[in-house]
A and B are shown apart, each in its own frame.
Chain A
Amino acid sequence: MAEAASVAAECLAGCRARGARSVLGQVVLPGEELLLPEQEDAEGPGGAGERPLSLNAGARSRVRVICGPGLRRCGDRLLVTKCGRLRHKEPGGGGGGVYWVDSQQKRYVPVKGDHVIGIVTAKSGDIFKVDVGGSEPASLSYLSFEGATKRNRPNVQVGDLIYGQFVVANKDMEPEMVCIDSCGRANGMGVIGQDGLLFKVTLGLIRKLLAPDCEIIQEVGKLYPLEIVFGMNGRIWVKAKTIQQTLILANILEACEHMTSDQRKQIFSRLAES
């Protein structure tokens, strides 16, 4: 990682905040401060002290910038808290876009709105305790299923797999999840069926596999009939017609993180033959 070492050395030597635009796609380390584009213009090239004359001296149009995972607000600047590559997305409507750090980790921290796979560990009164891989088990009320009423309880046992989303997830409270959306429809959430295999991968791989243009998923889908469920907490559940096919699928998905595309194509072609 010569790239990262040189970057770190430069940063420590200079101790100057860099502009976010100039660092896009490069590796950033925790502790770095990044300047947003507007501030870059104000500071000027080299900080000579000359400021361009503008008609509205006081009113600088402030665009709302969103700092995503791996970044924190530090005064007017962005502070990096995770190591990884800096990414940026242009805004659709108004606003200044999103900046985030593309990092890799195995430990999941519950985030509101994420769809995850959980394992039911306990049933106490009206609430199920679901293990989602975080620091504490999430709570799931029995009324948060589609068509559930006080008399019509959902058929959920200890040990079942649940696909749901978080409604409450912050560092101060116990996470809560539900299996319906805001309209009251299930939309595919709820208890995941029988059989199949659940295994754990890194969080970065999940995001890579769920990207719209992911080749791996397209190739996997051509092999044989199968079903996959991805949880943002690093858990994948797969099911195929036979146990052997299921195991092959699980092995492919686990291994594709560290394979190059050529190696992957070789393996797929070998599988297609057999």
Chain B
Amino acid sequence: MAAEHKTKLSKNLLRMKPRRAFMQRGLDSETKKQLEEEEKKIISEEHWYLDLPELKEKESFIIEEQSFLLCEDLLYGRMSFRGFHPEVEKLMLHMNAKHKAEEVEDETVELDVSDEEMARRYETLVGTIGKKFARKRDHANYEEDENGDMQPLKAKKMFLKPQD
């Protein structure tokens, strides 16, 4: 008998979201949707917007830089001559050499080991590493030559069907 006749609450009250949300009980999903739509309408009418056509931003391929460092290769600003300030002279060599070294590095990449040697090493490397992971039965395949080089793998012994 308690709540036979629901108290009719105003929409604004129903819209409020207090902590306990006991007011929400009065809202159905339909009324909720209606309330949301009306809210959106009110908001969109009040909001200001620019009535402009959509501008497509073009990707530009020109970059603006205000620094002269990119344009001209300038030397380091501190200089010392004839041993007046030895530390600065060391710095000069260091900074100007670094500057030139960067250019040189781009051109040539010095090889420590020649290509042929690399190929030879890889040939034997495959054998030694493979041996590490091979099971005991496969150890027979890895026979060592007199020189210590790995011989290529022999053909595995397959089951031969008896010929009639």
Which A residues contact B (CB, under 8 angstroms)? 36, 62-69, 71-73, 76, 78, 87, 89, 92-93, 96, 98, 100, 109, 111-115, 163, 187-188, 207, 210-212, 217, 220-222, 224-232, 239-241
Contact = CB atoms under 8 A, between A and B. Distances in A.
Contacts of A109: 66
Given A62-B61, A188-B88, A232-B77, A221 B82 contact: yes
B51 interface: no
B68 A68 contact: yes
B88 A100 contact: no
A154 B81 CA distance: 28
B96 to A, nearest CB: 8
15 contacts: A64-B63, A65-B61, A69-B65, A73-B62, A73-B64, A78-B62, A87-B71, A89-B72, A96-B61, A114-B67, A114-B69, A212-B73, A220-B81, A225-B82, A228-B78
Contacts, number: 120
Interface residues of B, number: 31
A210 B74 contact: yes
Question: Interface on chain B toward A: helix, strand, loop, or mixed SS?
Answer: loop
B79 A227 contact: yes
A136 to B, nearest CB: 17
B60 interface: yes
A187 B95 contact: yes
B62 A112 contact: no
Given A76-B60, A111-B67, A188-B95, 16 more contacts: A64-B62, A67-B62, A67-B65, A69-B68, A92-B103, A100-B71, A163-B77, A210-B74, A210-B75, A211-B74, A221-B79, A225-B84, A226-B81, A226-B82, A227-B79, A230-B77
Contacts of A188: 76-78, 88, 91, 95
Contacts of A221: 79, 81-82
A82 to B, nearest CB: 11
Contacts of A229: 77-79
A225 B63 contact: no
B18 to A, nearest CB: 46
Contacts of A217: 79
